[in-house]
Amino acid sequence: MFHVWTLLPAVYVYLRFIKKLKFSNKIQLSLGLFAVVVCEFHLLSRLAFGTMFSPELPQLIMIVLGWIFGSVIFLALMLLLQDICFIFCRVFLHRSVTGRAGGRMLMLVASCLLAAVGVHNAIKTPVVQRSELTLRKLPSEFDGFTIVQLTDLHASRLLPHSWMQSVMDKTNALHPDLIVVTGDIADGTVRDRRADVSSLSSLKAPYGVYAITGNHEYYFNAAAWTEEYTRLGLHFLNNTNVRLSKDGASIVLAGVTDEVAPEYGGEGPDLMKALNGGSVKGMVILLDHRPGSAANSAITGVSLQLSGHTHGGMISGLDAVAASANNGFVSGLYQVGDMALYVSNGAGLWNGFPLRLGKPSEITFITLRAQ
């Protein structure tokens, strides 16, 4: 069904734009086929590489494909909006309005520019997003404790080693007490991405670097990836926890797996297991790749949940769609009962839709405050 949805913009652009160009039928058809090929590059990637999540193509080609794909989508949306306005005028104002060639070309230029900005925003080094959270159960000894959350890095041919290294350098420059990585670290097999993720070994924090699996880990053998990330210095909290101590006080850091894990032979998320059957008391920080189950986490007694997965919706307007798929949680800070939930926009994104407009990527820097 996904490939049908990606095909629709190409078909619409062909019917409402390309067919109106003063070109021969052969050229029009060629342009139409080109639009279809670009919009269906996910399907072609699946056929050529066995997966649509990690096409092993040069970065420049990935950037150009993302730009043209975005241009077609934006052009289709503009043409659709124009047609809706024409229908409104005809039905309610009884006026027949037709588009002009100059207007259509202006939409083409605008679409290409929007897509170019979107791709640039998607592949640039993320900004640091700072938040200060006051938590009722936080021991006073942990007042001022800092956490960097990295999520949805999606290392790939689009976001290679150089990009990953820039994110690691920016993270270490913040000198956080704790670093957590909440899933979707890479797209591709360990063999294909080993060099791209190698910079993870440079992450340093006094209280350690902890991680959980996201859904994309399971698409490429989560067990192999967990072993590789562990070798690079990440400590996984998949349905388990660790206690962090400071000046005689302590807090609990727990993590769960992703809900797709059982489909790939892994253990699904089990919050009660992560909290030792509910026996864990006091201040609990939970790492959960998806924010949708936040209400259940709050009922269980978690004080702070850190999630990603949504990419913030990537484009203003699409965030409403992402929110509806995640129980209303898509970007930023939420209060869920007595629990604080922070949903990061993510540092990277999936290379199959490399566009960001109004929803910037981020390295999340959180300072905890005792009430």
**What are the distances in angstroms from CA 239 to CA 7, 194, 277?**
39, 25, 11
- Phi first, then psi, for residue 153 (nearest 5°) are -70, -40
Tokens 């053998």, located at residue: 221
pTM of this structure: 0.93
Token pair belonging to 262: 């059982």
Whole-number Å distance between alpha carbons of 283 and 301: 9
Count helices and strands in the chain by DSSP H and E runs: 12, 12
Whole-number Å distance between alpha carbons of 215 and 237: 15
Instruction: Give strand pairing partners of 307.
Output: 343
**Residue 144 CB neighbours (<10 A):** 12
Contact status, residue 248 vs residue 141, Cβ threshold 8 Å: yes
**What are the distances in angstroms from CA 245 to CA 27, 136, 213, 291, 339?**
69, 18, 24, 27, 21
H or E element in which residue 218 lies: helix 215-219
Q: Domains of the chain: which residue ranges?
A: 2-122, 127-370
Could you list the pLDDT tens digit for every one of the 371 residues in the chain?
A: 788 889 999 999 999 999 988 889 999 999 999 999 999 999 988 888 888 898 999 999 999 999 999 999 999 999 999 988 888 887 777 776 666 767 889 999 999 999 999 999 999 999 999 999 999 999 999 999 999 999 999 999 999 999 999 999 999 999 999 999 999 999 999 999 999 999 999 999 999 999 999 999 999 999 999 999 999 999 999 999 999 999 999 999 999 999 999 999 999 999 999 999 878 888 999 999 999 999 999 999 999 999 999 999 999 998 999 999 999 999 999 999 999 999 999 999 999 999 999 999 999 999 999 98
CATH code for residues 127-370: 3.60.21.10
- Phi first, then psi, for residue 270 (nearest 5°) are -135, 90
**Residue 113 CB neighbours (<10 A):** 12
